[in-house]
Chain A
Amino acid sequence: MIAGTLPGGRRIDLVVLGCALGLAALGVLFVASATTGTRFQGLAARQAIWIAVGLCAMVAAILFDYRMLLKFSFAIYCACLLPLVYLLAFGARIANVRSWIRFGQFQFQPAELAKIATALLVAYLFENEDDGRLRTSAIFKLGVIVGLPVLLVFLQPDVGLALTFLPLIFVGLYFGGLPAKGWVAIFLIVAVVAGAGWFLLKDYQKARIGTFLNPDADVLGSGYQVRQSKIAVGSGGFSGKGFRGGTQSQLRFLPVQHTDFILAVIAEEWGFLGVILVLGLFAALFLRALKLAQTARDRGGVFLVLGLTGMMFFSVVINASMMIGLAPTTGIPLPFVSYGGSSVATTFLAIGLILGVQYRRFANA
């Protein structure tokens, strides 16, 4: 096992850490490429600061016993949901969304932290659901635990961020052992809710879904983003147009290119090779994290790793699909790579928790 040694002779997994750092470095590089010479200039440096913050949080999470966090997960969950309530009641709208809290010149999205807290509480739930079958009460609890923050974030309204909580339900149900007839029931419920939800969506959200289904219908409106992103990705070819050589990104045909569409920048400038590099790093990270989950010393640790990994995986798949029009543009960033302080910092915090579980995998540790 490739591992690094921390003081005290215990080892942490270097594959997970290395992949995370590699992706974060790529992120800084391409945020720089996408923002140099624009009004966003200087964001790469900020991103680096946030990575540093995230690394501190990561180290703290490794050193702090995750069992304590699980024990107090309900309190943490409540503490993290409070700012979301506060935001809905008093928050200032930034980009028409109430999801940011300002600290001086930095902004933070409390919902990102709420993701971690929710994952902790879900893990704590399954820590005690250990009798080999998934009880209906547990499913109900799972629904409430995840549903509450989803609702709060959905009302901000930040649909993309709200969606990133949902993998926790899937993780709980699947790894908790939901039988086949349970999946059928859930599928039916989801279908009904989705049908009803269509009437609750805002017009622009409906437009995005419509655009996803038929991107050529509205080339200059919401179809524009998808189209320009596809052109950026496709025109990159095998080896790309070279760093800072992407015409789609450097001439700003790409929308929000340093945040949600950063992968399109990489795909344009480094081509298919760049995409393979990114997807390869993620693949190594996820496969390794799942392996680590198997070695966790307790059921809470298993579900914590699975929940955190599941959320990350979901974001990666949706984001990468978005770039080439395989998923609607929902505002889900690419973990580690997209610009966004709260996202990067909490992703490293999640890595810290995963590594903490691995660090304490032996019962005597």
Chain B
Amino acid sequence: MLRIREDRQAVARRIEIARVAVGAMLSLLAVAYWTVQIVRGDYYFSLSENNRIRAVKITAPRGYVLDRQGVPLVENEPAYTLHLYRREAKDLDASVAFIVDLLGLNPEAVRSRVERGRRDPEFVPIPIAENLGIEEVAAVQARAAEHPEFAITVSQRRLYKHAGAAAHALGYLSEATPEQIKNSNNAYGVGDWIGQKGVEAAYERLLAGVSGERRVIVDSHGREVAEEARLEATPGQNLFLTLDAKLQDVAEEYFKDKVGSVVALDPRTGEILALVSSPSYDPNWFTRRVTAAEWNGLLENPDRPLQNRAIQNMYSPGSVIKPFLAYGALARGLVDPEWRVFCPGHATFYGREFHCHKKGGHGSVNLRDAIKESCDVYFYTLGQKLGVDRIHEILTGFGFGTPTGVDLAFEKAGLVPSEEWARTKRGARWYPSETISVAIGQGPLLVTSMQIARGLAALLEGGRLPTPHLFYSSQDPRTGAQLRYKAEFVDGPGIAPEKLAIVKNGMWAVVNEPGGTAYGSRAQGIEMGGKTGTAQVVGHDTTIKADADKSRLDTHAWFAGFAPVSDPQIVVVVFVENGGHGNLAAAPLAKALVEARFGTGAPAAAPPVPSVRAAATDRQGVARATRRETP
């Protein structure tokens, strides 16, 4: 009994020690939890917040682009993309087989996309097919119960409503390039669309709006459970262009089978009413992701459809330069309006013979008739009187040789030669005989269509150079508040009205008097003035001989016109590459455009801006993806 008692005491002592040990152990645990929960609590709290909250970008609906009357040119349309959620798929192969069969997709393409998607975390959906049709969307959604792994998301895609129309004015969207992302200061990321060229690029910030953000709560599968906070996107501004869809259509139609460009603008403000560069391309290609074949087709086309010929290509102006030189000579008092030159069909300058386009000659012509009949011998003589430096002074005064500042990128400056230019830039001295060529718009002189349009506007409108522009107004789609473009001008030569009248009279005669070079293109119901041009194809640095064969078929056809003559409201410059003669190839379109501009009757002054508010509100929030069921 005693033995047992002693043993009980020993056990009892050990139990006392065990009690202390148990208490100490649990206290230590409490201390450990204190460290994790109290000392490091904030750290772990932020980790748990990061765990559950994801920031999802809300892409702002991009503003529409409309013409000056409110005719929509560019809109957005819903684009449906099919995604595969791997976590929902019981058997990936069976899912792939199902969708390939349902939508008739290319099995290899789908499988390779799934393979690529496997590298991402499991909750990241794999895009399977883009741009589904509405029937395909319905087919997928009808099977949603059996195949929850497939989901359709809706996004907004740019829609250029008239395919290739005005493509060079509008530009296109594409995914931001690495440089654009780098330069955007985090505003753009991989896969974001950004305007390339045209007004899409020029007014990117206005059109794009400001993207918003949703802070969503996700579960451990990355599935959205709830939305915690939402910063709405600011939709992009709607952009009204100065373009007139009616005139644009007429010009597009004319250039369907031709290469060249058209610029029509309002000489009083510089508003561009029509802008065509042909051949064109369909900007929708880029938003649908260009196929390799389409891309190569665009790049390999020798006519370079992506180039905007009205501002990026430089040509010899030919005879359309004559009215500028005529006015310049008159204004400087170098010639009298009744100063006459006898044209026998050719003339000799500096020991070389130069031909007039009219073999038999024009006889005795004064300044007005020289313009009307485009007498080369008159202008050779005039050019000799002016000299190249004065020609340079006159033409640069009308804006040649410098970019017009139009709101489009990649504009060329052109080239107006001078003795200094020959010495410093060309490295070969100026030959006086070259001046004779320049006087009829040949030689090293190079211009863009846009420059001719602006120069003519300046000549007709008191000498200041209106900056051509496509921006008419912008409109906030939510408030309707508008921002109007205020016309800008660059100082130019002052215009003496009585001297201008003589030149204008000559240009009137070109179209409206028998014997005028464009008499066949008289406009109905409105008086149009203008000047034809037929330019030989020359290289930028080639000095061509004035006696080169003018009957070559590959001459470029020019026509620069305006109407009405008494109070010009439109300037039209038509250029047809290898089109033959300006009177035949170019002037008829100018006539058609002028008739379209005034044909409906009274000239519309400042057309009211119609509201596109209804259209704008209904597209807000459309970009939200179809909600997925969360179990």
| A, B bound | yes
Beta-carbon contact of B44 and A275 below 8 Å: no
A287 at the interface (CB under 8 A from B): yes
Beta-carbon contact of A324 and B33 below 8 Å: yes
How far apart are the CA atoms of A290 and B25 in the complex, in Å?
Answer: 15
Beta-carbon contact of A272 and B38 below 8 Å: yes
Known: A251-B218, A272-B33. A234 touches B45 (CB 8 A): yes
How far apart are the CA atoms of A338 and B585 in the complex, in Å?
Answer: 91
7 shortest interchain CB distances as A-B pairs? A234-B44, A235-B48, A237-B41, A251-B219, A235-B45, A253-B220, A235-B44
B613 at the interface (CB under 8 A from A): no
Chain B residues whose C-beta falls within 8 Å of the C-beta of A324 in the assembled complex: 32-33, 36
How far apart are the CA atoms of A313 and B33 in the complex, in Å?
Answer: 17
How far apart are the CA atoms of A364 and B219 in the complex, in Å?
Answer: 61
* 5 further contact pairs, Cβ within 8 A, besides A237-B37, A251-B225: A177-B14, A235-B49, A252-B220, A299-B11, A324-B32
Beta-carbon contact of A279 and B26 below 8 Å: yes
Select which of B22, B34, B40 is within 8 A of A287 by beta carbon.
B22
How far apart are the CA atoms of A356 and B173 in the complex, in Å?
Answer: 82
Known: A231-B47, A247-B52, A276-B30. A132 touches B10 (CB 8 A): yes
B615 at the interface (CB under 8 A from A): no
How far apart are the CA atoms of A179 and B314 in the complex, in Å?
Answer: 106
A291 at the interface (CB under 8 A from B): yes
A282 at the interface (CB under 8 A from B): yes
How far apart are the CA atoms of A174 and B202 in the complex, in Å?
Answer: 85
Beta-carbon contact of A271 and B18 below 8 Å: no
B73 at the interface (CB under 8 A from A): no
A271-298: CB near B (< 8 Å → 1, else 0) gives: 1100110010011001100110110000
Known: A175-B14, A247-B48, A252-B219. A233 touches B33 (CB 8 A): yes
Chain B residues whose C-beta falls within 8 Å of the C-beta of A174 in the assembled complex: 14, 18
A74 at the interface (CB under 8 A from B): no
Beta-carbon contact of B37 and A234 below 8 Å: yes
Would you list which residues of chain B between 208 and 250 have a CB under 8 Å from chain A?
A: 217-221, 225
Beta-carbon contact of A320 and B29 below 8 Å: yes
A214 at the interface (CB under 8 A from B): no
Beta-carbon contact of A130 and B37 below 8 Å: no
How far apart are the CA atoms of A175 and B631 in the complex, in Å?
Answer: 53
B88 at the interface (CB under 8 A from A): no
Q: Contact residues of B with A, CB < 8 Å?
A: 3-4, 6-8, 10-12, 14-15, 18-19, 22-23, 25-26, 29-30, 32-34, 36-38, 40-45, 47-49, 51-52, 217-221, 225, 631
How far apart are the CA atoms of A163 and B6 in the complex, in Å?
Answer: 33
Q: Which residue of B lies closest to A126 (CB)?
A: B11
Beta-carbon contact of B38 and A238 below 8 Å: yes
Beta-carbon contact of A236 and B37 below 8 Å: yes
Beta-carbon contact of A234 and B25 below 8 Å: no
How far apart are the CA atoms of A247 and B12 in the complex, in Å?
Answer: 47
Chain A residues whose C-beta falls within 8 Å of the C-beta of B38 in the assembled complex: 237-238, 272
Chain A residues whose C-beta falls within 8 Å of the C-beta of B41 in the assembled complex: 234-238
How far apart are the CA atoms of A166 and B14 in the complex, in Å?
Answer: 19
Beta-carbon contact of A253 and B51 below 8 Å: yes
A136-158: CB near B (< 8 Å → 1, else 0) gives: 00000000000000000000000
Chain A residues whose C-beta falls within 8 Å of the C-beta of B44 in the assembled complex: 230-231, 233-235
Beta-carbon contact of B6 and A132 below 8 Å: yes
How far apart are the CA atoms of A283 and B19 in the complex, in Å?
Answer: 9
B115 to chain A, nearest CB (A): 20
B17 to chain A, nearest CB (A): 9
Q: Which residue of A lies closest to B46 (CB)?
A: A235
How far apart are the CA atoms of A231 and B45 in the complex, in Å?
Answer: 7
A77-111: CB near B (< 8 Å → 1, else 0) gives: 00000000000000000000000000000000000
Select which of B22, B26, B34 is within 8 A of A272 by beta carbon.
B34
Across the A-B interface, how many residue pairs have beta carbons closer than 8 Å?
Answer: 136
Select which of A177, A233, A293 is within 8 A of B36 by beta carbon.
A233
Q: Which residue of A lies closest to B22 (CB)?
A: A286
Chain B residues whose C-beta falls within 8 Å of the C-beta of A290 in the assembled complex: 15, 18-19, 22
Beta-carbon contact of B51 and A248 below 8 Å: yes
Chain A residues whose C-beta falls within 8 Å of the C-beta of B6 in the assembled complex: 132
Q: At the interface, is chain A mostly helix, strand, loop or mixed? A: helix
Q: Which residue of A lies closest to B121 (CB)?
A: A220
How far apart are the CA atoms of A302 and B7 in the complex, in Å?
Answer: 12
18 cross-chain CB contacts under 8 A = A131-B7, A228-B51, A231-B44, A235-B47, A236-B37, A237-B37, A247-B51, A247-B217, A251-B219, A253-B220, A268-B48, A276-B30, A279-B29, A279-B33, A287-B19, A287-B22, A287-B23, A326-B32
Select which of A175, A231, A326 is within 8 A of B51 by beta carbon.
A231
A267 at the interface (CB under 8 A from B): yes
Beta-carbon contact of B37 and A272 below 8 Å: yes
How far apart are the CA atoms of A286 and B25 in the complex, in Å?
Answer: 12
Beta-carbon contact of A234 and B30 below 8 Å: no
Chain A residues whose C-beta falls within 8 Å of the C-beta of B11 in the assembled complex: 175, 294, 299, 302
B2 to chain A, nearest CB (A): 11
Beta-carbon contact of A175 and B15 below 8 Å: yes
Beta-carbon contact of B33 and A321 below 8 Å: no
A232 at the interface (CB under 8 A from B): yes
A163-197: CB near B (< 8 Å → 1, else 0) gives: 00000000000110100000000000000000000
A24 at the interface (CB under 8 A from B): no
B54 to chain A, nearest CB (A): 12
Chain B residues whose C-beta falls within 8 Å of the C-beta of A237 in the assembled complex: 37-38, 41-42, 45
How far apart are the CA atoms of A281 and B220 in the complex, in Å?
Answer: 32
Q: Which residue of A lies closest to B34 (CB)?
A: A272
B365 to chain A, nearest CB (A): 89
Chain B residues whose C-beta falls within 8 Å of the C-beta of A235 in the assembled complex: 41, 44-45, 47-49
Chain B residues whose C-beta falls within 8 Å of the C-beta of A131 in the assembled complex: 3, 7
Would you list which residues of chain A between 240 and 263 have a CB under 8 Å from chain B?
A: 247-248, 251-253
Q: Which residue of A lies closest to B43 (CB)?
A: A234
Chain A residues whose C-beta falls within 8 Å of the C-beta of B48 in the assembled complex: 231-232, 234-235, 247-248, 253, 268
A117 at the interface (CB under 8 A from B): no
How far apart are the CA atoms of A79 and B8 in the complex, in Å?
Answer: 31
Beta-carbon contact of A275 and B14 below 8 Å: no
How far apart are the CA atoms of A39 and B18 in the complex, in Å?
Answer: 42
Chain B residues whose C-beta falls within 8 Å of the C-beta of A267 in the assembled complex: 33, 37
How far apart are the CA atoms of A290 and B10 in the complex, in Å?
Answer: 14
Which residue among A230, A234, A248, A293 has the maximum number of chain B CB atoms within 10 Å of its CB? Answer: A234
Chain A residues whose C-beta falls within 8 Å of the C-beta of B49 in the assembled complex: 235, 247
How far apart are the CA atoms of A251 and B18 in the complex, in Å?
Answer: 41
A306 at the interface (CB under 8 A from B): yes
Known: A132-B6, A175-B14, A177-B10. A291 touches B220 (CB 8 A): no
Q: Which residue of B lies closest to A283 (CB)?
A: B26
Select which of A232, A313, A321 is within 8 A of B22 by beta carbon.
A313
A3 at the interface (CB under 8 A from B): no
A49 at the interface (CB under 8 A from B): no
Select which of B10, B30, B52 is within 8 A of A279 by beta carbon.
B30
Chain A residues whose C-beta falls within 8 Å of the C-beta of B30 in the assembled complex: 275-276, 279
How far apart are the CA atoms of A126 and B52 in the complex, in Å?
Answer: 54
Chain B residues whose C-beta falls within 8 Å of the C-beta of A231 in the assembled complex: 44, 47-48, 51
Q: Which residue of A lies closest to B51 (CB)?
A: A253
How far apart are the CA atoms of A274 and B4 in the complex, in Å?
Answer: 44
